[in-house]
Amino acid sequence: MTMRWRALVALAWRDTRTTRRRLVLSMSSIAIGVAALVAVDSYSANVVRSIHVQARSLLGADLSVSASRPLPAQVTALLDSLHARGATDTRVTTFSSMALVSGSEGTRLVQVRAMGAGAPYYGVIETSPADKWQDLQSGPYAIVDSSLLVALNANIGDTLSLGYARFAILATLRNVPGDIGIAASLGPRVYIPDRYLGATRLLTFGSRAQYEALVKLPSSVNPDALAKAHRDLFDSLQVRARSVADTERSLTRSIEQLGRFLGLVGLIALLLGGIGVASAMRAYMAEKIDTIAILRCLGASGSQVFAIYLIEAAGLGLAGAAMGVVLGVAAQMALPHVLGSFIPVDVTPQLEWIPVLGGLALGTWVGALFALGPVLGVRNVTPLQVLRRDTDDAAQRAARSPWRDPARLAAGAVLMASVVAVCMARAESAIFGLWMSVAIGAAIGATWLAAVACARGASRLATVPSRFVVRHGVANLERPGNQTRPVVLALGFGVFLLGTLALVQGSLLRELASTADASAANLAFFDVQTDQAFLLDTMLRQRDYPVLARVPIVPMRIAALASPRRAKSETRRETKGASPRASERPSWAIRREYRSSYRDSIAPSERLVAGHWWKTDGPDRDGVFEISLEQSLAEELGVVLGDTIAWDVQGVRIRTRVTSLREVQWTRFEPNFFVVFQPAALREAPQSFVLLTRVRDDAERAKLQRDAVQRFPNISTIDLSLIENAVGKILDRVSVAVRFMALFSVVTGALVLVSALAASRRQRVREGVLLKTLGATRGQIASMLLTEYALLGAIGSAAGIVLAVGGAWAAMHFIFQAQFALAPLPLAVVAVATMVLTVVIGLVAARDVFAETPMTALREV
Amino acid sequence: MLVARELTKSFPSGDRTITVLRDVSFTIADGEFVAIVGPSGSGKTTLLGLLAGLDAPSAGSVRLDDVDLATLSEDARARLRGAKVGFVFQSFQLIPTLTALENVRVPLDLRGDESAQSRATELLARVGLADRVHHYPVRLSGGEQQRVAIARAFVNSPSVLFADEPTGNLDQSTGLRIVELLEELNRDAGTTVVIVTHDTELAAHARRIIRLSDGLVVEDREHTA
Ligand SMILES: Nc1ncnc2c1ncn2[C@@H]1O[C@H](COP(=O)(O)OP(=O)(O)O)[C@@H](O)[C@H]1O
Ligand SMILES: [Mg+2]
């Protein structure tokens, strides 16, 4: 038996002798998909490994306890009690503030981190010049992001003002553990010693800050257990406790999520490659009919012949997968450059065996499965076909009627089941995986249908052109043995991916720009205290800048929710307990701090969707005020019109009833609110203000910010153009990463194209040479090829563009919930590039037509 | 009129050159039916290729209707073939992706001739395939394929038709019918026919026989059946 298998393998190997290069080419389309998966999986395994090693540095402590207000006494008491067990702790306070440097012009919103002595306990903050971190605590010093120095045109040694305090800039940051590269573009960081925090006088009423205690525990105390033991206390006080293990878990989860998303792109590339393999294999098997018939004549059984080609298919799958693994490992080395700015740890790439072996297995399996369909066709070849010269016909018949062959149907079913299984295994949840495979199937199916429809349409039109060469080129699309479908599928999918990306990015950027137009305001002042509001208002008016809005903000929490119409067990939910039905989100919605406002009319960025806006101002007979909720928040809280909510406003309980729901256009620059109160409810509450103004000129705007900050050091300003820049930058980075992954699919598409054209190349060259003997000039042959390939490219682009517009619209509508904008230019660029690519690859594949003399037609037998 | 003068063709083979044709000269007048015969490997196909301008000779010249083929570019030679030359091959050489009718039309289509459809239909009827016009080559028998090829060769009313072993892949009686068809067309249209064969029986249908052996013309005689 083994002997016989060995003979079959040898036969299979010899059988590929003249076509190995072409087969390798077709298998390389599998390789790209495998490469993408191996690269993404290996890199995310690398990152997870690094997270594990660096988790303590990321947190900077064994346990972190934080809250959005000063840590309550019970918590500090608990921390103190741990000292007895050998623990130490220190504080970190994080908030935004304006920074300015004496002697330079600008101001900049920065992230201030006031560090207690010893913080962080783990991980090294690298500075430039080196080793300045340990000097931070020795005086009023600051260590800042170098981007701040650039923005403020300042240097190390200059004096930085934060609020009412001044700091000497000691160094710039080179590397902070847990740092995500893009964070700095949102707000440069400024580290100061926490004993100077008071001097800044920045933490006034209403300013947002995070108060954190870093705890270092002796090895005898398990931080995870400690956090769990006091979970109830922390929860009731709205304090967040994170252990090293928590940090590791949540980071790992988000990395795996990123990996899954990017892996999806790899999976699509793999399937696309599989389709390419199937079409190349079909052409290959059609050529092999003669050989098979001869083998059958010489006594090979049907199953032996089948085994030979199955061995070839599996061998090719393995070869393609192996090629993919090598490429994937190489791409893994490139990924840090593309994704690095989203990754919170420093990653040293290393070989990951599980992704490598997994990729090898998956690639072989998918390659062999896709090749299986055409290979199954060989069972239909009879020895008689050696004698009858209708072999091509038999091959075409075998290739065309897979529907009536139960074995091929079964192979198709196994293929689909495998794809679904792979999707389900890679997805977060089985059901999501199922939907994912349905979506992938739908996208591929839609492109396929578009390919079929376009090819049919083209062949109908084939009688229209008056020039023979054009007509011939068009008609070739639907001729027997054509490669139109796989080519259009490959091209269409590439265009679909690239087009969707371009459109989504364009729409997002336009949305951003339209925000800038729609709201007249381009400068906002935050944390303006009640007594400052009037002064700032006057200052603006004196300089002829409009005060476009003066919006009060009142911080508060939910004290109790009540829903009179629901079952008794659910009617009251104190803030401590989560909703019995839902998981964490409602509990977060209940526990979070709200920054609400009050006014007597609805804002232009809002739309009433249920209930009515209050007409009077004041509580009802029971002392209950009216409020309006943003509709998705109402959904999350499980609140409907008429429900009552009690609020804790700085210790004062205010009872309210939901009388309207609003839809809010969050992308507008104006401050928007989840909860809006009747003015009477909050007018007397402690509050701060946001003032909006418009200053056209960049220099004037910078000067105004600086003057305001110098006069009122505690207030912050936000310049719309800076936000636009920052968001644009992030979008750029994201799109580079997504494009990098899309590239895999596009390259796969190109390879499918190349291998499909290579499969029909022999026939093409033969036909071209024959046409030459019949009187065709090289120009005529070139125009035929040009017509055919340009049309293929055009059909592929058209199918892809239609899908891209649909896909981008869906993405904008369902994911980003923003306006879809059709940008024809990027689509045109993608389409033209695709057509050029197709024509070039097609002409290169057929170049022998021009090289061969017509003499070969006489010699061909 | 087709004039071959001192045609020599050699191919490089390793560091030597092998000469396949040596000083071949003859003149074929319009309307002749000539058979080029000789054993396999004697250079018949090579000669045919040179006469039709598919390949260039190493020395000597070919003049077709007083045009020296060597003075024409590749494309000009192709256009000349399209206008004046017809071909029939041993292996039929139909384009597999085109139907019988489409195959026959090709030479006229390449010239942009409006009459392609009617002329091709007429010729297919002439070779007895009126009911097979929309069949693809794979659906036709060898004899039928070769008749399609002959219809294609005649569709542009060539002044010369070259046929390289046109019966080589066919059984004897089918082959005979093909040669008779060629004779008939030669008679009716006055087309010069140059047929290559190693089958002396078929050659007997020709009125003149040129015999090649090892690249040399060893016999050139009128033949009366
Ligand atoms: N391109 C070529 N290179 C080298 N030798 C060739 C080439 N073409 C033909 N020959 C040789 O020329 C000789 C004549 O070939 P051919 O004209 O095909 O003979 P025939 O058609 O009479 O059988 C043969 O020996 C063949 O091997
Ligand atoms: Mg020959």
pLDDT digits (tens, 9 = 90+) for A151-203: 888 889 999 999 889 999 999 988 887 666 566 666 788 999 999 998 988 88
**Per-residue b/e over A194-220, b at no fewer than 16 CB within 10 Å?**
bebbeebebbeebbbbebbbbbbbeee
A116: pLDDT strictly greater than 60:
yes
Q: Which of A196, A190, A235 is nearest to A94 (CA)?
A: A190
Higher pLDDT, A238 or A190: A190
Distance from C-alpha of A286 to C-alpha of A280, rounded to nearest angstrom: 10
Only one residue has tokens 């992030």, namely: A730
Provide the 3-class DSSP secondary structure of residue A2.
helix
State residue A186's pLDDT score: 66
Distance CA A25, CA A752 (A): 9
| A726 pLDDT more than 60 | yes
pLDDT per residue as tens digits for the range A740-770: 777 777 788 788 878 777 777 777 788 888 8
Q: Which residue has the higher pLDDT, A380 or A411?
A: A411
B46 lines ligand 1 (CB under 6 A): yes
Q: Is A810 left (phi over 0), alpha (psi -120 to 50) or beta?
A: alpha
Q: Rounded mean pLDDT of A686-709?
A: 86
Q: What is the mean pLDDT of residues A414-435?
A: 84
Average pLDDT over residues A481-509: 80
Q: Which of A774, A780, A785, A861 to mutate to test the interface with B (most CBs of B within 10 A)?
A: A774
The set of residues, in sequence order, having a beta carbon less than 8 Å from that of A497 and lying 6+ positions away, is A265, A268, A742, A745, A746, A804
- B14 Cβ below 6 A of ligand 1: no
pLDDT at A183: 62
**What is the full DSSP assignment across B67-106?**
EEGGGS-HHHHHHHHHHHEEEE-TT----TTS-HHHHHHH
Q: Widest CA span of chain B, in angstroms? A: 55
Closest CA to A64 of A79, A86, A49, A54: A79
pLDDT confidence of residue A552? 93
Domain boundaries, chain A: 1-59+257-426, 63-220, 449-519+723-861, 549-693
The CA distance from A142 to A123, in Å, is 19
| Cβ–Cβ < 8 Å for A241, A64 | yes
Place of tokens 């999501």: A432
d(CA A359, CA A330): 14
Whether B168 lines ligand 1, by a CB cut-off of 6 Å, is no
Domain boundaries, chain B: 2-222
- Rounded-to-integer distance, Cα A763 and Cα B93, Å: 12
Q: Band the pLDDT of A574: cuts 50, 70, 90.
A: very low
Identify which of A393, A779, A859 has the shortest CB distance to residue B139.
A393
Q: What band does A583 get if pLDDT is binned at 50, 70 and 90?
A: very low
b/e sequence B58-69, b meaning 16+ C-beta within 10 Å:
eebbbbbeeeeb
Q: Per-residue pLDDT for A483 more than 90? A: no
pLDDT (mean) for A40-64: 87
Residues from chain B that touch A763, judged by Cβ atoms under 8 A, are 96-97
Please spell the DSSP secondary structure of A42-65, one letter per residue.
Answer: HHHHHHHHHHHHHHHHHHTSSEEE
Q: Is the CB of A465 inside 8 Å of chain B's CB atoms?
A: no
Lowest pLDDT segment from A211-215, A495-499, A720-724, A840-844: A720-724
Q: Chunked in runs of 10, what are the mean pLDDT values of chain B (225 residues)?
A: 93 88 93 92 90 89 92 86 86 82 86 86 90 87 89 90 86 84 87 89 88 92 74
Tokens 């990653």 identify what position? A347
Instruction: Report which residue type is found at A695.
Output: V
Q: How far apart are CA A196 and CA B69, in angstroms?
A: 99
pLDDT, greater one: B181 or A6: B181
- What is the H or E stretch that residue A436 is in? helix A430-461
- Give the highest mean pLDDT range of A259-268, A284-293, A323-332, A808-817: A323-332
Say yes or no to pLDDT of A518 above 70. Answer: no
Mean pLDDT of chain A: 81
Asked if residue A349 lies in contact with residue A380, where contact means CB atoms within 8 angstroms, the answer is no
pLDDT of A776 reads: 86
* Most confident listed range (A593-607, A831-845, B15-29): B15-29
Average pLDDT over residues A569-580: 42
% of chain A residues with pLDDT over 90: 15
Candidate from A763, A773, A780 with C-beta closest to B87: A773
* Assigned token pair, A469: 């060469």
- Six-digit token pair at A383? 């020895």
A88 sits in which H/E element:
strand A88-101
Name the residue of B9, B17, B18, B20 to mutate for ligand 1: max ligand atoms within 8 A of Cβ.
B20
- CB < 8 Å to A468, chain B: 109-110, 112
Give A672 or A379, the one with higher predicted confidence. A672
Q: Check if the beta carbon of residue A200 is closer than 8 Å to that of residue A189.
A: no
**Who has greater pLDDT, A429 or A18?**
A429
Q: Which two tokens stand for residue A105?
A: 């012009």
**Hey, what are A585's tokens?**
């989100």
Please give the pLDDT value at position A325.
93
A614 phi/psi in degrees, rounded to 5? -65, 140
Q: How far is the CA of A5 from the centre of ligand 2 (A)?
A: 42
Greater model confidence, A715 or A168: A168
Residues around ion ligand 2, judged by CB within 5 A, are B 45
- Residue predicted with more confidence, A849 or A463: A849
Tell me the CATH class for B2-222: alpha beta
Q: Would you call B85 and A775 a contact, using CB atoms and an 8 Å cutoff?
A: yes
Give the pLDDT score at A292.
78
Task: Go through A297-333 and write b for each residue having 16 or more CB atoms within 10 A of its CB, e for each that does not.
Answer: eeebeeeebbbbbbbbbbbbbbbbbbbbbebbbebbe
Of all residues in chain B, the one with the smallest CA distance to A767 is B95
How close B15 comes to chain A (CA, Å)?
Answer: 23
Among the residue ranges A466-470, A701-705, B147-151, B210-214, the one predicted with the least confidence is: A466-470
Cβ distance B78 to A855 less than 8 Å, yes or no, reads no
Mutation pick for ligand 1 pocket among B18, B42, B46, B89 (CB with most ligand atoms within 8 Å)? B46
Statement: residue A647 has pLDDT above 90? yes
Name the more confident of A450 and A355. Answer: A355
Chain A to chain B Cβ contacts (< 8 Å): 92
What is the secondary structure of B109-156 as a DSSP string?
A: HHHT-TTHHHHHHHHHHHTT-GGGTT--GGGS-HHHHHHHHHHHHHTT
pLDDT in tens, A534-547: 999 999 999 988 88
Give the length of chain A: 861
Contact A455, A485 (CB under 8 A): yes
The more confident residue out of A105 and B172 is B172
Q: How far apart are the CA of B48 and the nearest CA of chain A, in angstroms? A: 9
Give the residue, A382 or A805, on which the prediction is more confident: A805
End-to-end CA distance of chain A: 39
The pLDDT score that the predictor gives to residue A387 is 53
Q: Which one of A472, A775, A779 has the shortest CB-CB distance to B81?
A: A775
Distance (Å, whole) CA B196 – CA A859: 13
Q: List, in order, residues 6 or more apart from A8 with CB less than 8 Å away.
A: A304, A307, A308, A311
Taking residues A626-645, what's their average pLDDT? 89
Query: What is the rounded CA–CA span in Å between residue A245 and residue A230?
Result: 16
Distance of CA A9 to the CA centre of its chain: 45
